[in-house]
Amino acid sequence: MLIATWNVNSVRTRLSQIINWINQVNPDILCLQETKVIDNDFPIKPFEELGYKVIAFGQKSYNGVAIISKIEAENVIKGFSGFLGDQNDVNKFEDQKRLITADIKGVKIINVYVPNGSSLNSEKFDYKINWLNCLSSFLDKQEKKSQLICLLGDFNIAPSNKDIHNPQRYEGGIMASEIERNALNNVLKGRLIDSFRIYEKNTGHWSWWDYRNNAYELNKGWRIDHIYISKALTSKLKSCVIDSNPRENLQPSDHAPVMINLDLDNPNEDYFDEEEDFFEI
DNA sequence: ATGGCAGAAGCATTCTGA
C-alpha cells in the first residue's frame, strides 16, 4: 500500500500536476496540504474518475487538508473535533483547517499541516507550539483506539541539522529551533518513527525548496515533510522516498511528495505474531 | 537587516507562507 503526502500549495492551481503524478505513481492514499479551497469548491471529479474518494477539510485562501484514497476510509475526524474537551486553547485551533484523520485498512491516517510559525518572537510561533501540544494530546487519545498510526504531512520543522542545506545559517531559527524540535519530539514520544531515516542516514535530502533565490536549481532545500509510523508498522515498511520530480514542473509546488510503501497484506510478519502472543497471554 | 517568489482575493495591493 502506497501512502503519500504532498503540500501542493493550492489544489486547484496544481490540479493537472497532481493528476499526472497519480497516473505515474498510482498511490493508494494521497494526503494533501495547503489545498486553499472550501470543501464545496474542491475539484473532486478528476480524482473520482481515477477511482479515488476525496475527504476534504478546507477553508478560503489558506491552509486546508485532504485525504484522497482508493480504499474506503472510516471514522473520519476533521480538526481536533472536541476530542480535547472545551479548553479555550483547543477551540481557537478549529478556525484553521490543518488536521484530518481517517482509518484506512486498519491504519489510522493522521494528515497534518503544522503552522509555519513565522519567527521565534511572534504570536504565530506560540500558536505553532500550542498547536503541536494539542496534537500530542490528540495522538494520546487516538493511540488508545489504534496502535497502527501513520502521522504524515507538512510539519514545517527540520528534525535535525542534517535536514537543512545550510544548518550554520539557519540553526536556532524558525523550522530549526530546539523549541520546535522538542515540541515535535513530544508529539512523537518515541512511539512514532521517521520512515525516511530508516533508510537514509545522510544529509542532502530535501522535500521543500524556497521559490526564491533559485533555491531548487541550487538544491538549497529543507526536509520538513515527514511520514511517521508506529513502531508496530516498521516491520511492514518496504520503502520511503522523496519524489523531487514534480518540483521540476512548470509552476510547481514548492514542496515535493514523500511516499512510503507498507506491505499490509503479507501475514507472515512480526506484528501479527506479536498480536497473537499478546492475546494468548 | 531586508527582500526575494508564489497563490488568493479581487482589480491595486495586501496578506500569508517558509
A174 assigned to some structural domain: yes
Least confident of A19-23, A35-39, A123-127, A270-274: A270-274
The percentage of residues in chain A with a pLDDT greater than 90, rounded to a whole number, is 88
Tens of pLDDT along A132-190?
Answer: 999 999 999 999 988 899 999 999 999 999 999 999 999 999 999 999 999 999 999 99
- The one-character DSSP state at A4 is E
Examine the pLDDT at A82 and tell me if it is beyond 80: no
Residue A277 within any structural domain of the chain: no
* Per-residue pLDDT tens over the stretch A205-229: 999 999 999 999 999 999 999 999 9
- Give the β-pairing of A29-33 and A65-69: antiparallel
The verdict on residue A122 lying in a domain is yes
Based on the structure, what is the number of domains in chain A? 1
Place A280 in a pLDDT band, splitting at 50, 70 and 90: very low
User: Is a pLDDT exceeding 70 seen at residue A251?
Assistant: yes
Q: Which nucleotides of B are covered by protein (CB under 7 A)?
A: 3-9, 16-18
Q: Is residue A246 part of a domain?
A: yes
Query: Could you tell me the CATH number of the domain that includes residue A7?
Result: 3.60.10.10
In a domain, A135, yes or no: yes
Q: What is the pLDDT of residue A103?
A: 98
Domain for residue A206, yes or no? yes
Is residue A279 in some structural domain? no
Nucleotide showing the shortest C1' distance to residue A14 CA: B7
| Assigned domain for A280 exists | no
Q: Is the pLDDT of residue A279 over 50?
A: no
- Torsion sign, CA atoms A167, A194, A32, A75: negative
Q: Average pLDDT, stretch A241-245?
A: 98
pLDDT at A274 over 80: no
Any long-range contacts for A173-176 (C-beta under 8 Å, 24+ apart)? A173/A119, A173/A120, A174/A116, A174/A117, A174/A118, A174/A119, A174/A120, A174/A125, A175/A116, A175/A117, A175/A222, A175/A224
Output the nine-digit C-alpha cell for A28.
493508494
The residues of A carrying an active-site annotation are 113, 154
CA of A212 to C1' of B3 (A): 10
Q: Which residues touch strand B (CB under 7 A)?
A: A 7, 9-10, 12-13, 34, 36-37, 60-62, 115-116, 118, 124, 154, 156, 174-175, 208, 210-213, 222, 224, 251, 254
A277 confidence band (pLDDT: 50, 70, 90): very low
**Exposure class string for A8-17: b at 16+ Cβ within 10 A, else e:** bbebeebeeb
- What is the DSSP annotation of A172-229? TSTTT-HHHHHHHHHHHTTTEEEHHHHH--SS---SEE-SGGGTTTTT-EE--EEEEE
Say whether pLDDT at A230 is over 50.
Answer: yes
Q: Give the nucleotide nearest to A41 (CA→C1').
A: B8
Higher pLDDT, A270 or A89: A89
In this model, does residue A64 exceed pLDDT 50? yes
State pLDDT tens for residues A6-45: 999 999 999 999 999 999 999 999 999 999 999 999 999 9
What is residue A81's predicted lDDT score, i.e. its pLDDT? 84
Domain that holds residue A118: 2-262
